[in-house]
Structures are given as C-alpha cells and as structure tokens.
C-alpha cells in the first residue's frame, strides 16, 4: 500500500516537474509567471488596470496575500516564478518561507522585482529597498512635498500630490513615444548613491521639492531636497536582473490612471495623467520586453579562409564577427548600434577595434595580429544604459615564426649584410697586401 502511494505521489508530481523545467528559456527572456504579493485583496481591484495590462501582454499573475503561510518562491531547488511584484508596503513579516533574504536571493538568481512603497512603508520593505541600492527617507512620517510642482486639486491642500515631469530621456526604458502629461505621485522619496552605476533615477522630484512630515512644521532642514529626491528608480544588476522601486503605490492605481492633471503654474489641463503610459512602459523594460541583448555566432578566422584555426601566428591578418540581437517582447530583432567594440587582449588590449555592422545584426572587423606571441582573448564587453550587458571572451594562442618561416633575406638586415661582406672584402685585401707586398 505504501509503495502504491509513493508511486502515485511521484506520478502526480511529473506535470509539476515539467512546469519547473520549462520555467525559463534563454530563447524567450520575457518573464511570464509573476507572483503578486498584496497587503489586501482590494488592491487587486483598485489597481486592476495595471494588472490587466500585464495579463493582456501574456503574463500569468498569481495573486497572494503577503502574509499567506503557503507562500514559496521555489520548490525542489527550482524557482516557481520568473518575477515578483511587491504591492504590500505595510507588511512586517512575509508568510511561509519568504523573507528579505529569500527575495534578494531571488534577484541574485537573475529574476526581476517591482516594489512599491508608500508613507506607511514597513521596516521590511525599507530593508529590501536598501539592499537594492535605494534609501527611503528615515523619517517614517515623511512624504514628498512640493509647493511649486504640485498637481492642482480641490481636495489635496498639503501639496503632497506631485505632478512629476522630470523623467529620464531613454527610449529603451520608456519607449519612443514621449510621455506628454505629468505623472501623478503621492508617497515617499528616496535617495541613491551617485557612485552606484547600477541604479538610475527615472522619475525625479523638482528642485523645489523636499521630504518632510506635511502635518507638522519643519524644526530642522530636511535631509532630502530638490532633484536629489528620486520618486521612481530602476536597478539593473550585474547578472542583468532588473528592479523597479517606487515610493508611491497609488501611482499604479486606477484612480491615478484615469485622473486628469494640471500642474501648478501651467495653463494646460491634461484629460489623463501620464501614469498609465509611464508604468506600462517601465514594466516592459523591467520584464525584459525591451533592452535585452544576446550575442550568437562568434567567429574568427584568417583572411581568405573560413575555418576557425586553433592557433594564430604573429602578423596574421584575421577577421572577427559576432551577431547581436535584441528581444522585442515577441521575437529577436537585429540590434543596430555603432559603439560595439572588440579587444584582442593579453593582460591589456593590444588591439581595440569598433565593429562595423550590416544593419542586420552582424558586427565584423579585421585586423593584423600584433607582433607579440602568447595567449590572447577576443573580448567584447558591452554596457549601455538600459540594455543588458554583453560579456564575450574567446581564447586563442599566438605563436612566433618558425625557423623556416622567416624571409630568406630580411630587408631591415641589409646594413648587417653589407657590414659582413665589407669586412670579408677588407680582410681579403689586407691578406693580399700583407703576403705579397714587403
């Protein structure tokens, strides 16, 4: 009986194991299975437009309460989800086996994260953001206040409803269509370390903004002021995992999506805020629908040949090529740029060449092997704002000339040849004079 039960359990787990094995394919980098953790299921309806936009693009959303005791990111050593959305700013402790360390490990494994906080953000949410390179204002009651760039409203009198238009100019992150209407933001600000090249501000506060408790008078200068306040930031880790951190959960809500907006001091009244376009485009980037590169078919060979040699000789003429493609969300399209470079490297680059392209994804160049022998590498280290990084390396030895491969008479040695023959001639003449003339 026990054997039959064990066999039944094993057979029933086959579909689940198959699901795990098909969790991620390098040929299809777009996240598909997304775990959404909520403070309350009412957020599912109040933010339904955002969730529907993800589902219409093919994402499988699994909604759970953040304190659900059955939450698990992985099973049998395999991750169950490709991405995580944390819309649970007030949670003090996750349910199940989930904690801050598990979420960071999830990101370290190459998965993606969207985190939204608000004025009631818990220490747990702040800790996760801090580990990702973002520091929320330490004052738990602080919010972003702006007395010049607020959104005109009949109900918001404390100027905490921000009409943000200081948006990063990046087609790969926000798409080619310009966001014309300001983005509504109501929440907490954060700062980033300027020395950290992995974190980028994509929505910043205006120079007149500051972070403080809007319900009390300022007793000391605020610690966060001006454009140093980031409202929304993104992180691209070295393993190409992507993270979006927002200080406003309301920014993703149906109310802000549908709301009209008029920025203080402006006569233009927009019928619809830029929130929906902003968060939709950023989610496309976070979930690798844009800016995800891959390199294939790395080739090198001598000029005039097709086969890749096992070794080169100094001063050989060679050709190098590689194909680079960008994921469009549905297929791989040729990536076209003019700044892809290859190094011929041994301890330091002996050759650095910018690759030409045929506009169809193929990058190529040719050069002469330096007059130095040793073990070299063809290296492509490509990093560009908003794009996943490429790191390619292919090792190849370079040998000197063999003894029978040198030219019979080397042009640069002619002076030495002349010196040798002149000395022999001089010795012959000296011998004649010495022997026959007394």
Mean pLDDT for the stretch of residues 298-310: 91
Task: Tell me whether residue 421 is in a domain.
Answer: no
Domain count, the chain: 2
pLDDT attached to residue 401: 84
Distance CA 176, CA 170 (A): 8
Average of per-residue pLDDT values in the chain = 87
Residue 153 has pLDDT above 50, yes or no: yes
| Residue 18 located in a structural domain | no
* 252 and 318 assigned to the same domain: no
* Pair (277, 374) in one structural domain: no
Query: What is the predicted pLDDT for the residue at 18?
Result: 37
Among 193-197, 208-212, 348-352, whose mean pLDDT is lowest? 193-197
Same structural domain, 251 and 379: no
- Average pLDDT, integer, range 133-149: 88
- pLDDT of res. 5: 39
Residue 145: inside a domain: yes
The verdict on 234 and 250 lying in the same domain is: yes
Which DSSP symbol is given to 49?
Answer: H
Residue-level pLDDT at 8: 38
Question: Do 372 and 243 fall within a single domain?
Answer: no
Overall average pLDDT of the 158-183 stretch = 90
Distance CA 22, CA 27 (A): 12
Residue 156 has pLDDT above 60, yes or no: yes
Does residue 191 lie within any of the structural domains?
yes
> 278 with 375, same domain?
no
pLDDT in the model for residue 27: 64
The confidence score (pLDDT) of residue 354 equals 94
Within 13 Å, how many C-alpha atoms sit on residue 187's CB side? 29
| Shared-domain flag, residues 310 and 260 | no
Q: Is residue 26 part of a domain?
A: no
Confidence band (pLDDT; 50, 70, 90) for 353?
A: very high
Same domain, 246 and 309: no
Let me know the angle formed at the C-alpha of 257 by 208 and 158, rounded to the nearest 5 degrees. 35
How far apart CA 198 and CA 115 sit, in angstroms, is: 17
As a whole number of angstroms, the distance between CA 347 and CA 172 comes to 34
Look at residue 19 and tell me if it is in a domain. no
Mean pLDDT of 292-300: 92
Q: Do 224 and 364 fall into the same domain?
A: no
Q: What tokens appear for 310 in the block? A: 């096992």
How far is residue 36 CA from its own chain's centroid? 22
Least confident of 131-135, 182-186, 383-387, 400-404: 400-404
Give residue 151's pLDDT band: very low, low, confident or very high (50, 70, 90).
confident
Q: Pick from 262, 287, 312: which residue ends a domain?
A: 287
CB 159 within 8 A of CB 250: no
Domain of 90? 33-287
**Does the structure show a pLDDT above 70 at 340?**
yes
Tens of pLDDT, residues 274-293: 999 999 999 999 999 989 99
Most confident among 15-19, 95-99, 407-411 (mean pLDDT): 95-99
pLDDT score, position 140? 82
Whole-angstrom Cα distance, residue 362 to residue 296?
10
Q: The CATH number of the domain where 335 resides is what? A: 2.60.40.1930
pLDDT tens digit string along 35-76?
999 999 999 999 999 999 999 998 999 999 999 999 988 888
Among 287, 305, 322, the domain boundary falls at 287
Q: What is the DSSP letter of 413?
A: G
Is the same domain home to 386 and 330?
A: yes
CATH number of the structural domain spanning residue 233: 3.40.50
**β-pair type (162-164, 190-192):** unpaired
Same domain, 106 and 182: yes
User: Does residue 77 sit in the same domain as residue 148?
Assistant: yes
Lowest mean pLDDT among 130-139, 145-154, 318-327: 145-154
* CA dihedral (341, 346, 347, 351) positive or negative: negative
Q: Which of 256, 287, 318 is the last residue of a domain?
A: 287
pTM of the entire predicted model:
0.82
Distance CA 43, CA 91 (A): 14
pLDDT at 65: 93
- Give the residue-averaged pLDDT of 373-394: 92
User: What was the pLDDT predicted at 438?
Assistant: 64
Burial class (CB in 10 A: 0-12, 13-18, 19+), 42: exposed
Phi/psi for 78 (5° steps) reads: -120, 140
Supply the pLDDT for residue 246: 94
């Amino acid at each position: 009986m026990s054997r039959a039960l064990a066999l039944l359990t094993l057979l029933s787990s086959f579909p689940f194991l198959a699901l795990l094995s098909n969790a991620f394919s390098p040929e299809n980098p777009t996240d598909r299975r997304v775990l959404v953790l909520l403070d309350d299921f009412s957020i599912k309806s109040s933010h339904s437009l955002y969730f529907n936009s993800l589902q219409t693009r093919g994402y499988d959303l699994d909604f759970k309460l953040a304190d659900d005791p059955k939450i698990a990111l992985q099973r049998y050593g395999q991750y169950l989800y490709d991405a995580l959305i944390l819309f649970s700013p007030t949670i003090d402790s996750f349910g199940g086996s989930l904690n801050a360390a598990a979420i960071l490990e999830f990101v370290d494994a190459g998965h993606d994260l969207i985190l939204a906080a608000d004025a009631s953000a818990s220490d747990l949410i702040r800790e996760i953001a801090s580990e990702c390179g973002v520091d929320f204002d330490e004052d738990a009651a602080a919010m972003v206040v702006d007395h010049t760039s607020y959104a005109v409203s009949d109900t918001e009198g404390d100027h905490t409803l921000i009409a943000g238009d200081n948006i990063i100019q990046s087609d790969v992150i926000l798409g080619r269509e310009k966001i014309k209407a300001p983005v509504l933001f109501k929440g907490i600000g954060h700062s980033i370390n300027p020395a950290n090249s992995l974190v980028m501000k994509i929505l910043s506060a205006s120079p007149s903004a500051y972070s403080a408790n809007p319900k009390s008078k300022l007793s000391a200068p605020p610690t966060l002021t001006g454009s140093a306040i980031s409202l929304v930031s993104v992180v691209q880790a070295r393993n190409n995992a992507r993270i979006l951190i927002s200080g406003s959960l309301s920014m993703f809500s149906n109310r802000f999506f549908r709301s009209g907006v008029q920025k203080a001091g402006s006569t233009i009244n927009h019928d619809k805020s830029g929130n929906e376009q902003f968060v939709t485009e950023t989610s496309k980037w976070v979930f690798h629908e844009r800016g995800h590169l891959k390199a294939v078919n790395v080739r090198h060979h001598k000029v005039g040949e097709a086969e890749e040699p096992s070794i080169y000789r100094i001063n050989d003429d060679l050709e190098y090529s590689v194909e680079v493609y960008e994921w469009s969300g549905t297929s791989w399209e040729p990536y076209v740029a003019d700044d892809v470079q290859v190094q011929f490297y041994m301890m330091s680059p002996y050759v650095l060449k910018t690759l030409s392209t045929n506009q169809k994804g193929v990058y190529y160049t040719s050069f002469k092997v330096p007059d130095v022998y040793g073990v070299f590498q063809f290296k492509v280290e490509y990093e560009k704002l908003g794009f996943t990084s490429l790191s390619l390396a292919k090792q190849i030895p370079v040998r000197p000339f063999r003894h029978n491969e040198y030219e019979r008479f080397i042009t640069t040695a002619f002076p030495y040849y002349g010196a040798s023959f002149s000395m022999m001639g001089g010795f012959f003449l000296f011998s004649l004079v010495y022997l026959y003339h007394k």
